[in-house]
Structure 1
Amino acid sequence: MRADRLVATLLFLQERGRVTSAEVAAELEVSERTARRDLEALMAAGVPVYSRQGRGGGWTLVGGARTNLTGLTAEEIRSLFVLLGPVSDTPRMRTALRKLVRALPSTLRTDAKAASRVGLDDGTDWARAAEGGPHLADLERAVLDRARLRLGYASPGGAARVRAVDPLGLVSKAGARYLVAGTEGGLRTFRVSRVTSVERTGEVFEPPAGFDLAAAWRGLAGPMEERMAAATVRGRAAPGTAALLDRLLGGRLRLGGRDGDGWTRFEADGPSPEVVAAQLAGLGSRVEVLAPEAARRRLAELAAELAGLYGAP
C-alpha cells in the first residue's frame, strides 16, 4: 500500500537526515521513479520535506523535523485507532486522541479519524450504571507515578479502614473499576467505588519483577469467578422465556434442547443453589426448577413468604 510506503519513507528520512531517491528506492525495494513520486507526495501533503539538486543534494526534513511514528503501517494505525476510539469518552482522552491524530502524516489522518469512530466498548450491565468514584483520577495518577498510598477502603457491610498499598494497575470489568495493588498480604483487588480516601505516603515503589497486569488480573479474578459458578441449577423455561433468562443470567446460562411441550431445558451457574433460585423467582411460573433440591426448597420458601405478605386476608 502506498500509505505504508509514505510512512516508511518519512521514517527513513528521519533516521538519515538527508537521503537520495536512489537510497529510498533501495531501502523500500521500489523503483527510483516511485521513490521520487513518494517524496514529492510527502512534500505536497504538507510534510516539511525539500530537495536540493546537484552534488551533495538529496531530500531533507526541514529543520530536522521529526515524526512521533515508530514504524506503524497504515493498517496498524487503523487498528490502533479502532482500539483507541472506544476509550476516548472523556475530555482528557479526546484531547489525547486529537494530538495523536495530528502526529500522523496528513495522508493518514482521514483514515485514523474514521477508524476512531467505528468501535465501541460498553462492558456495563444493563441493570446498573458504570462505576467510577471520586478517587479514580488520583488512583490513575498514582499508578503512573508508582506512588505508595494510604488507601481508605470500605468492604461490603464493613467500616472503612486505611491500609498501605502499591497501586499497580486499573481494570474495568462489566462497568466496575478495580485497582490491582500490592499489599503486605500479596496482590489484592480493590473496587474503586468503595475507595473512601487516597493519600500519598511520599514514597515510590518498584513493581514486582516481570509484573504483567493482565496475568495478575487473571490470577486474582479466577478464584472469584470459580466461586460465582460453584453451583449449577437445572430447569425448564416456557416458550418465549429464553431471552429473559439470557438477560438475567448472561454467560452463566446454558440452553439445551426443547421438550415435547415446547419448554426449553437450561442450566444456570451461581455461587449457591439458593442464590440462583432467588434470581429465577422473578420469572414465576415461566420457569420450573428441576434440581437440585436446595434450589426447589428455596423457591418454595420464597413463594410462602410472598403469599404471606401479599396473599388475600
Structure 2
Amino acid sequence: MRADRLVAALLFLQTRQRVTAAELAAELDVSERTARRDLEALASAGIPVYSQAGQGGGWSLVGGARTDLTGLTAPEIRALFLLTGPDTGASPQTRTALRKLVRALPPPLREGAEAAARAGVSDGTDWAGTETVEEARLGPLQRAVVEAREVRIGHARPGREARERTVQPLGIAMKAGVRYLVADTEDGLRTFRIDRVTSVAETGAPAVRPDGFDLPTAWRALAARMEVRMVAATVRGRAAPGTEPVLEAVIGGRIRYGERARDGWTPFEADGPSPEVIAARLAGLGARVELLDPPEARAALTRIGAELTELYGESGGPAPAPPATPEAPPRAPASTGTRHG
C-alpha cells in the first residue's frame, strides 16, 4: 500500500505546480502527517521534490519535472478507459486509480481519455430490475483472488441442487461473455461459471497458490478439456424452411448443414455434450425439426413429448395439433457439403 501511495502522490504532484500536505492527504484519503511522510520519502528516494515554507508554500517537483509512469499510447489509453471507465461498473478502487491516471496524462491525451470514460455504461440488473447473480458474486470472488483468500462457494449446475465446496481462487476468466472462476480444489484445477455460484464466504484461511501457476496457461488447458466435453456427441436431423436462424441460436456454432432438399428441408448435424442434452435443447422447436439419429436423441424427444402431453393434453381439452409440416422424405445421411451458420 505504501508503494501505491507514493506513486499516486507523484502523479498528483505532476498535475499541480505546488501542493500542500493537506491537499495530498485529502486526495489519498490519509492523514496529513502520513501525506507529509510520503512526500519526504519521495525526496529521500531521489525524486526532485522540494518543500517551500511560509504562506503560499507547499511541495513541488523541481523545474516541473515529470516522470513517465505509464508509457501508454493514445489508443491504449482510450481502450483502457472504455473498458474500465467510471460508468462501466468499475469498483470504487478502480475509479480512484483512473481518476489519478487521467490527471497525470498530458493535456492532449487527457481529453480523449475522459471522452472514452463517458462512452460506456454497464447495467448489472436483469430486465426485471434485479441484480444478476453474476454481478452479485463477482465482487467477492475478485477480492478473494486478489487478496489470496480461501473461500467456500455454493455452485449449482443446471437441474441440480447447489453443492458447497472449499476452493483456492486463482483467477477470473471470460469466454464468449461468460465469466468463470478458476480455482484449485481437492480434485485439482476446476472452473466454475460465476452466474451459477449461489454463495461466497471466506473461510479466514489464506489461499494456497500452486507453484509455478500461470493463469493463461491453466485456462487454455481447462478450456481444451471443456471443448472436448462440449462436442462428445453428434445428432443428425433435418430442419423446416426458415428454421436455421432459430436452430443456430439454440445450438450455437456447433452445427453443420447439408444441401437443402427439394421440399425445402435442410439436413444438419449438431454437436453437444450428449444426445439427450441436444434433444432437450431442440424440443422447443417442435415439428420444425426432426431428429433422425442416434436413437437416444429420438427417445429423449419421445419422453419429453409424453411428459408435455400428460401435463397439458387433458387440462383444457385436447392438446393442440402440431403445425403442418411437409412430408418427410426417405432418411438419408447428411450431405458432406457444409454450410456454417
Tell me the distance in 2 between the aligned counterparts of 1:155 and 1:117: 37
Alignment partner of 1:104 is 2:102: no
Q: For the residues of structure 2 that align with 1:120 and 1:236, how far apart are their CA atoms?
A: 42
2:237 touches 2:267 (CA, 8 Å); kept in 1?
A: yes
Alpha-carbon distance, 1:108 to partner: 0.6
SS in 2 for 1:132: helix
The answer for the alignment partner of 2:201 in structure 1 is 198
Q: Structure 1's 95 and 217: CA in aligned 2 closer, same or farther, altered over 3 A? A: same
8 A Cα contact 2:88 2:120, kept in partner: no
Q: SS at 1:107's partner residue?
A: helix
The CA distance in 2 between the partners of 1:68 and 1:200, in whole Å, is 41
What's the C-alpha RMSD, in Å, of the aligned pairs? 3.7
1:62-121, Cα deviation, whole Å (9 max, x unpaired): 466545543223333334444445993245345544443223111112222344566789
Contact 2:89/2:121 (CA < 8 Å) preserved in 1? no
Q: Deviations over 1:182-224 (max 9, x none)?
A: 234422223444353422434464x334422122122223223
* Shift in alpha-carbon separation, 1:134–1:79, aligned structure 2, 3 A: closer
Match of 2:300 in 1: 298
Instruction: Return the match for 1:168 from 167, 170, 195.
Output: 170
C-alpha deviation, 1:249, in angstroms: 1.6
Contact 1:132 1:176 in 2 (8 A): no
| Equivalent residues of 2:238, 2:266 under 8 A apart | yes
- Partner secondary structure for residue 77 of structure 1: helix
Q: How does 1:60-75 map to 2 (within 5 A)?
A: 62=62, 65-67=65-67, 69-75=69-75
TM-score by length of 1: 0.64
Q: Secondary structure at the match of 2:238?
A: strand
Report the AA paired with residue 78 of structure 1: R
Residue in 2 aligned with 1:88? 88
Aligned pairs for 1:174-193 within 5 A: 176-192=178-194, 193=196
Higher mean alpha-carbon deviation, 247-256 vs 88-97, is at 88-97
Provide the C-alpha distance between the structure 2 equivalents of 1:150 and 1:84, rounded to a whole number of angstroms.
26
CA-to-aligned-CA distance 1:224-249 (integer Å, 9 cap, x gap): 33222211122222222111112212
The more displaced of 231-240 and 68-77 is 68-77
Q: Distance in 2 between matches of 1:74 and 1:233?
A: 50
CA distance in 2, matches of 1:130, 1:240: 33
Q: Higher strand share goes to which structure?
A: 1
Q: Report the TM-score, using the length of structure 2 for normalisation.
A: 0.60
Unaligned regions of 5+ residues in structure 1, if any? 1-13, 15-59
1:20-35 matched pairs, under 5 angstroms: none
Partner SS for 1:274 = helix
SS at match of 1:89: coil
Three-state SS of the structure 1 residue aligned to 2:259 is: strand
Query: Is the CA contact 2:84–2:90 (under 8 Å) kept in the aligned structure 1?
Result: no
Partner residue of 1:272? 274
Q: Is the 8 A contact 1:101 1:109 kept in 2?
A: yes
Percentage identity across paired residues of the two chains:
55
Cα–Cα, structure 1 residues 181 and 278, in superposed 2: closer, same or farther, change >3 Å? Answer: closer
- Paired residues of 2:162 and 2:198 also in contact (CA < 8 A): no
| CA distance in 1: counterparts of 2:265 and 2:273, whole angstroms | 25
Segments of structure 2 that go 5 or more residues without pairing to the other structure are: 1-13, 15-59, 320-341
Change (3 A) 1:78 1:175: closer
Could you tell me whether the CA contact under 8 Å between 1:231 and 1:269 is conserved in 2? Answer: yes
Q: 2 CA distance for matches of 1:121 and 1:246?
A: 27
Distance 2:170 2:91 in 1: 24
